[in-house]
Amino acid sequence: MHFWKEGDLSQAVCEDCRRLVQTRFEVRGFPLEASGVVVPGVLVAVCTECGGIAALPAQSEPRLKEARERRKSQVLETRVPLHLEDMVHALALRFDTAVEMFRPHLLRFYLREVAADPALARRVEKLARSEAARGRARARVSLRLPEGLLEAARAQGRAAGLRTDADLVRGIIVAAAEDVLDGRAPERRARLSGAAQAEGAPRLRTA
């Protein structure tokens, strides 16, 4: 796969000069047409005559796609009892990772699992009604999610009888505690460990 570097030369038809010109690759802010947001640090092909952006190299596509999709993300806001937040801390400690980094990965991981697995959604619904999930909702949970994930998890949750985001999150945290801390789901625990490791956690101890 080819990657152009800053300073490399090429050619393109410049929309402003209205002819084929020499271009130089430079790092610039690139304005997204629909939103007007300027994505910083994008490699672009700049016209050496007028200084305008003449073209965009293929390698810059993912950076712009990511910026567009981040704008389309959704936010899940809810509150959970303090002891459930303690469970999240215990889970983070089990993976030797910082809770602030781990919490969003844990919740996104389980939301994806729930979205794909009706049996897990039913279990989460049962756990959300269990004694372990009850208590005064004190701890705030705020989570940014890719567009579609929250809707998919909510839809699967609704089909299983979950009525609110709070129930979904409560059930998920208790399920995660059972899976990891009580050793109920070693395969899921191993995949979650991979996600935690990507955030800098050490490899999971097998003991």
Partner 1 sequence: MGFKRVRELLIAALAGGRYQHERRSAAAEKNLLSCGAVTANFVVTLLLRCRGDQYSASAHHFDARVRCHVFRPSLGPERWYVKAYLLGTDAVFISVHRSEEE
Q: Which residues bind partner 1 (CB under 8 A)?
A: 1-3, 10-13, 15, 18-20, 33-34, 45, 52-59, 61-62, 64-65, 68
Is the Cβ of residue 54 or residue 153 nearer to partner 1 in the bound state?
A: 54
Question: Shortest gap between Cβ of 23 and partner 1 (angstroms)?
Answer: 9
Structure token digits, residue 89? 């801390």
Q: Distance (Å, rounded) from C-alpha 78 to C-alpha 190?
A: 27
Is the Cβ of residue 68 or residue 129 nearer to partner 1 in the bound state?
A: 68
Is the Cβ of residue 23 or residue 156 nearer to partner 1 in the bound state?
A: 23
Question: Shortest gap between Cβ of 137 and partner 1 (angstroms)?
Answer: 39
Q: Distance (Å, rounded) from C-alpha 125 to C-alpha 121?
A: 6
Element (H, E) at 101: helix 99-116
Is the Cβ of residue 19 or residue 205 nearer to partner 1 in the bound state?
A: 19
Question: Shortest gap between Cβ of 47 and partner 1 (angstroms)?
Answer: 9
Q: Give Dmax over CA atoms of the chain in angstroms.
A: 72
Q: Distance (Å, rounded) from C-alpha 167 to C-alpha 71?
A: 27
Question: Shortest gap between Cβ of 116 and partner 1 (angstroms)?
Answer: 23
The DSSP secondary-structure symbol of 33 reads T
Structure token digits, residue 38? 């300027």
